A and B are shown apart, each in its own frame.
Chain A
Amino acid sequence: MQLITEFADLDRKNLSPADINVGDAVTPMDIALTHTLVASTAIASMDFMPVHHDKDYAQAQFAPDAFLNILSTNGYISRFVTDWAGPEAWVKKINVKLGVPAVPHQTLKFTGEVLSKTENGDECDIEVSVAAANDSGNHATGTAVITLPL
């Protein structure tokens, strides 16, 4: 058996600022949340709060189930924008208003579009809207800013 030591996608392409226009959609990303993903992302972010891995505890706190931690909401938003823009994209800002909890057995759907494009020295700042929604409504809505080299 061959051990897999690297999962990185080495063929990934970069968007150039010239290819990006205000109003363009960010490539949608669907995450079919499971207990494994909710717990794994919480622990990978060093957040051991029981509401993020212990369903009994979460329900005793009146949550529907164990739910995604906010660090992971931001981690997925970072992945959402860099999966779209490419490895040269640097995430500068992620601002979100938090809504319904993101829970297992529901797909968290990430969507967004380009709001503005601003040249800034040898970089281009690109602001996009971000919404992460599931069957219950919006989990997070806001904006992210990435930069790409000009």
Chain B
Amino acid sequence: MPDPINIELFEKDQDALDKFLQSWIGEKMNTGGTNHAPDPVNMPMIRHWVDAFQDRNPVYESEDYAKDTRFGGRIAPPAMMQTWTMPRPILHNIGERGGAAQDLDPDTPLGVLDRVGFVGILATNSELEFDRPLKEGDVLQSEIILKSVSARKSTGLGQGYFVTWTQDYIDQNGEEVGRQNFTVLKFNPSTIGQ
């Protein structure tokens, strides 16, 4: 169970903040626990993607071509895995929310780090694994689980924590189809040079 939140304490007691962050390892970080895809894997969104990327791989678009490949039919571009469970965006005030599509949960480790001054965020590493091709009609959901939080480090952007989570993608049969490990630096811009 995560430690209780005490912002005043965390602001002055680094050990208490560090212990709070570590107490979240293994916990689900997304609001409500799971992101459900708004739509099944579908051709209109695939077409939008291949046009934006000018990706002319015929297995994404041509059923005639793809049926004779080892995929046995059209597949979605693998890197779209993340796209399927992206939340529908609330565009009003998205800038004020730091660009988040929905209200951020202030009680997750990222929200708490914001509240104690570590408001900066910079992505540093992405590791994607795709277990199987997705096809039209697949319905995904994803869970974001906190994997690790580093000790507080001094970086060129100020003091900060490297925060790593895993986003697991699960299909309509409950089977994992892939995952992403993602690391960000949450930094406090007011501590630059310290």
Contacts and interface: CB of A to CB of B under 8 A. Distances in A.
A10 interface: yes
B101 A48 contact: yes
Contact of A45 (B66, B83, B94, B129): B83
B60 A45 contact: no
Interface stretch (A20-28, A93-101, A103-111, A113-121): A93-101
Q: Which of under 10, 10 to 19, 20 to 34, or 35 or more describes the interface residues of A?
A: 35 or more
Interface string A100-142: 0000000000000000000000000000000000000000000
A94 B79 contact: yes
B33 interface: no
A87 B95 contact: no
Interface of B: prevailing SS: mixed
Interface in B52-76: 52-62, 65-66, 69-71
B127 interface: yes
Interface residues of B, number: 44
B61 A8 contact: yes
A95 to B, nearest CB: 4
Contact of A88 (B69, B82, B99, B127): B69
15 contacts: A7-B50, A7-B61, A45-B83, A48-B99, A48-B101, A49-B94, A50-B95, A71-B82, A75-B77, A78-B78, A79-B57, A87-B66, A90-B71, A93-B128, A97-B125
Given A45-B49, A76-B53, A87-B58, 11 more contacts: A8-B56, A8-B65, A10-B58, A44-B49, A45-B80, A48-B91, A75-B55, A77-B79, A79-B53, A83-B57, A98-B123
